[in-house]
Amino acid sequence: MKPLRLTSLILIAAILASCENKARNSTDYDNNAETIDTVYDDSTAETRYDKARNDLKVAEENLAEAMENGNQAAQEAAQKARDDAREAWEAVKTQANKTADAIEKGANQAADGIEKTANDIGVATEKAYENTKQGIKNAAEEVEESAQDVQEDMENQF
C-alpha cells in the first residue's frame, strides 16, 4: 500500500509543482451560480516521474556495465550519472512528501473548519429553538391574559 501512496503523492507533487500545468476556466451563469472548472494537464507530471525513475534505472545499469568492463573512466562517469539521478529521484520524493504534508494539513484545517461550523450551527439552532419555545410560551400567556380580559369584560357587561 505504501508504494501506491508514494506513487500517488509523487504524481500529486509533480502536478502541483509543475509550472507547465494548463488550466482552463469556464463560467456558467445558470441559476445565478458561477461554476469554475479547472482541468489540469498532468502528462508533464507523469513524464517527470517516469523520467526520474527511468534515469535512475539506466544510470544503475550503466554503472554495473562499466564495473563489469573494468573501464575506470566509464565507471566514474556512470557513478556520477547515478548519483545525479539518485539526487533527482530523492528531490521528487521530498517534494511529494512536502506536498502530501501540505495536503494533509489543508484537509485537517478544512475538517476543523467544518467541525467548527457544524458546532456553530448546532448552537445557533439550539438558541433559535429556545427563542421559539419562549416566544410560543409568551404568546400563549398573552392569549390567556387576553382571554381572561375578554371574560372579565363580558362578566362586567352582564
Per-residue pLDDT of the chain (158 residues; tens, 9 = 90+): 455 555 555 656 556 555 444 444 444 444 444 445 444 444 565 567 778 888 888 888 988 888 888 888 888 888 898 899 889 888 888 887 888 889 899 999 998 999 999 999 999 999 999 999 999 999 889 988 888 888 888 888 86
pTM of the predicted protein model: 0.45
> Residue ranges of the alpha helices (H) in the chain?
2-17, 43-69, 72-157
Number of Cβ within a 10 Å radius of residue 19: 5
Strand partners, 123: none
Which residues lie below 8 Å from residue 11, measured CB to CB, with a gap of 6+?
Answer: 42, 45, 46, 49
State how far the Cα of 112 lies from the Cα of 101, in Å rounded to an integer.
Answer: 16
